[in-house]
Structure 1
Amino acid sequence: MVSLTCDTTAAGAATLVSLTLSSAEPIHVRVENCLDGPVWPPRKQGVPAAGWDEEGFSGVVDGRLALGYACPADPADQPAHIVEERPPADEAEPTARSLVRELGDASPPRDAVGPTVDAIDAVGPDPRERNAGTDSPPPAVSAWLEEVEQRLAHADRLDGATSVSEAADAVDAVGGPDEVRTLRDRLATDREALVAVAERCESIADSAETVEIPVETLAHLA
């Protein structure tokens, strides 16, 4: 049997919840939030950490497990409770969701997983394309974004699988469990690159809005 202790701390308009789960032997549990609001789970690289969703946490307790989350609600004496306990052996046939989430966060070197911000900068737009008067990004950037979108589509299908057959089809679609790991690693790098590109684009756009070229003055000086 699993024991659960809870502690809450008010933090502005939210409540921070600390949980401690203990079990003498490995057991899978489902812990759900009791506060009047959604769970704000811990995040890794911008996505909920393994086992978390908007209602609570699912995972294996083997000894002692400390968890924490935030919720936009007032504190309560009982912020969370255990709604399910079952042997871990029931997970012998994992879903695609559990497979993807349990792979962890390790990422290979950037050069091994596809285009990066530096690579895009190195390619750059063709000078002729700068004056083409089009709203479309340069081909090198468009190709990279399309690849990222394809990887995200595969990840959405994996994450959304709700049955063993859907999970198997989603894993097969990317080439098997090893390719799921590769997809995870590439998306980790994609996230870093997208954030960097977005920040740089915002900075460049701000500069473009304020810069003015004194054409007439320069014409007189030429």
Structure 2
Amino acid sequence: MPTLTVDTVEGERVTFVEAVIEADRPHLIRLEPSFDGPVWPPRIDGTPRCGWGVRSLTTTIDAGRTPVGFATPVRPEPPVVELTSVEPCSDGVPDGMAVWFDRIETRLENAERLERADCLASATEVVAEIGGLPGVERLAADIARDRRLAARVSIVPDGLRERLDAVDVPATTLARIAPSAGR
């Protein structure tokens, strides 16, 4: 379980919060202030660094020591921040997310096989393996849901997100031509 050490440095009009998270393996963590008042996260060109929300940080930390800091105009009393969520990771990905990524990968492979089908016979074979037209319709809905969720989750690998954006499951077209293919 990660441990948290926090120090504050009081300036004239600002308090700098310096935290160190120590862990023996990678974790997905959420760090939140325990005080009321604004949080000023580190910024790059005016944009909060990746993982920072309005008042919290959600990020993946590696094994070892991870420094985190922010500023605030208030003078907070201890405890200044706390770890509100901690989830162990495998290969830098939360264990539950790794299972989801594997499922997305399987769905993408099926969708990409449909896209590669270059004749009616090969398309019919892939459709049958997926579970017929109902399976194709489920696949199209699942891919659309995966695409929406992946756009909102920062730890989805870029390659997986790009494949989700590029793939098109032709469920409507297959449903339209299926009755005429049987003639």
Report the TM-score when normalising by structure 2: 0.51
- Corresponding residue number in structure 1 for 2:162: 177
Residue 121 of structure 1 corresponds to which residue in structure 2? none
**In structure 2, the residue corresponding to 1:40 is in which secondary structure?**
coil
Name the counterpart of 1:91.
Answer: 97
Matches within 5 A, 1:59-70: 59-62=59-62, 63-70=64-71
CA contact (8 A) 1:35 1:71 kept: no
* Corresponding residue number in structure 2 for 1:37: 37
1:76-108 per-residue CA deviation (whole Å, 9 max, x = no partner) reads 2211001011122233357xxxxxxxxxxxxxx
RMSD: 2.7
Structure 1 residue 9: Cα displacement: 1.2
One-letter code aligned to 1:59: T
Please give the per-residue CA displacement for 1:166-190, whole angstroms capped at 9, x wherever unaligned: 24579xxxxx628x9xxxxxxxxxx
SS of the residue corresponding to residue 82 of structure 1 reads strand
Aligned to 1:25, the other structure's residue is in SS state coil
Look up the match of 1:11.
11
Distance, in Å, in 1 between the alignment partners of 2:150 and 2:50 is 20
Q: Which runs of 4+ in 1 moved over 6 A?
A: none
Q: Which blocks of at least 5 consecutive residues in structure 1 are unaligned?
A: 95-162, 171-175, 181-222
Q: Percent identity?
A: 31
Task: Provide the C-alpha distance between the structure 1 equivalents of 2:70 and 2:96, rounded to a whole number of angstroms.
Answer: 26
Gaps of 5+ in 2: 89-93, 102-144, 153-160, 166-183
More strand by share: 2
Find the aligned partners of 1:59 and 1:169 in 2 and give their Cα distance: 16
Deviation at 1:164, TM superposition (A): 4.4
Cα contact 1:39–1:54 (8 A) shared by 2: yes
For 1:50-78, what per-residue CA distance to the aligned partner results, in whole angstroms no more than 9, with x for missing partners? 11112111111212100110112113221
SS state at 1:166 partner: helix
1:15 deviation in Å? 1.2
Equivalences, count = 107
- 1:143-158 matches, cutoff 5 A: none
Deviation at 1:48, TM superposition (A): 0.6
